[in-house]
Amino acid sequence: MPTIELVNPIEGALGGYTVAGAPVAGTNEVQTLTIGGTPTAGSFILALDGIPTASITWNSTNATLLSAINTALDAKFGASAIVATAGTLTAGIGTILLTFSGGAYQKRAVNTMTTVNNLTGTSPTLANVETTPGVTQTGRDAKLGALLTDVTNGILYISTTTNPPTWVKVGTQT
């Protein structure tokens, strides 16, 4: 019986993916954290899938507050995996956008982060909601050279990048 020897196979080309329709590029999730009332001190915690950040000290200086949030997110979930930016934030009160744009969280649907409110002051509130749902990219963990077959249209794609993959149609298929 003849044997087949693979010489220098493309990384990830074996064990391809199948999908009904063209691959989906994916969307980064965005959640909106709202600090309301009139906090004057205290702290809060953000948690994703039950994994909490360290306690984040509230500050009325926007840049200081955002820096504290990003430091806590980086320490727990990886550098720039979740990035906090000012929405309507004024003097530490208002909205903060949490964008899931790196590491294991980019181009993926994620659960809404929960909050623990330890803020003090006049009726301080803390709430988080999903504002842009994440859409999980087709084969988002695929390696360079992985193959994906659109079984509905009979089209073959190859991954030309990793983390996240870029799916490119092979040849001149229609």
Question: Which pLDDT tens digit goes with each residue over 42-90?
Answer: 999 999 999 999 999 999 999 999 999 999 999 999 999 999 999 999 9
At 111-146, the pLDDT tens digits run 999 999 999 999 999 999 999 999 988 888 888 998
Q: What pLDDT band is residue 3 in, cutting at 50, 70 and 90? A: low
| 66 neighbors 86 (Cβ within 8 angstroms) | yes
* The pLDDT of residue 25: 87
- What pLDDT does residue 15 have? 54
Among candidate residues 55, 29, 50, the one with its CA nearest the CA of residue 132? 29
Say how many residues make up the chain: 174
Q: Is 150:23 a contact under the CB 8 Å cutoff?
A: yes
Distance of alpha carbon 171 from alpha carbon 161, whole angstroms = 17
pLDDT for the residue 10: 53
Q: Give CA–CA dist 125/37, Å, rounded.
A: 6
Residues 6+ positions from 64 with CB-CB distance below 8 Å: none
Would you kindly state where each structural domain of the chain is located, as residue ranges?
8-25+138-174, 30-132
Give the pLDDT mean for 102-106.
90
Q: What is the pLDDT of residue 90?
A: 97
**Per-residue burial over 8-40, b = 16 or more CB atoms within 10 Å of its CB, e = otherwise:** eeeebeeebbebeeebeebbbbbbbbbbeeebe
pLDDT of residue 78: 96
pLDDT at residue number 165: 87
**Alpha-carbon span 52 to 54, nearest angstrom:** 7
Q: pLDDT-derived band of residue 4, with 50, 70 and 90 as boundaries?
A: very low
User: What's the CA gap between 17 and 136, in Å, rounded?
Assistant: 15
Q: Are 146 and 159 in contact (CB under 8 A)?
A: yes
Average of per-residue pLDDT across 5-34:
76
Q: Which residue has the higher pLDDT, 21 or 36?
A: 36
